[in-house]
Amino acid sequence: MLTLNNPTKFPDQSAYFVTSHPCPECDEALTIVVTPQQLFAYNQGAYAQEVLADYPNHVKERFITGYCDDCWKNLFGDDDF
């Protein structure tokens, strides 16, 4: 399930910062920028592929499973998501 934590508005309210859960292996989190429309879609139950369509697969996976790209590769190999 896609998880966008701590949505924080830009000062001009044009976008939001959202943060992933910390990676279960290395404990680092990732913060990205989403539009108000993306945050609305997330709150309506949209899938990561829709909400984060502009981001690469490893970023989408980060917000779905919590694993960062390096830890994912260490655990599951170098295959694409």
pLDDT in tens, 25-58: 999 999 999 999 999 999 999 998 899 999 999 9
pLDDT in tens, 8-25: 999 998 999 999 999 999
* 61 vs 40: CA distance, rounded Å: 20
* 54 vs 49: CA distance, rounded Å: 9
Confidence band, pLDDT 50/70/90 cuts, at residue 77: confident
Q: What are the structural domain ranges in the chain?
A: 5-76
Report the pLDDT value the prediction gives residue 8, as an integer from 0 to 100: 94
Q: 68, 62 in Cβ contact below 8 A?
A: yes
Report the pLDDT value the prediction gives residue 36, as an integer from 0 to 100: 96
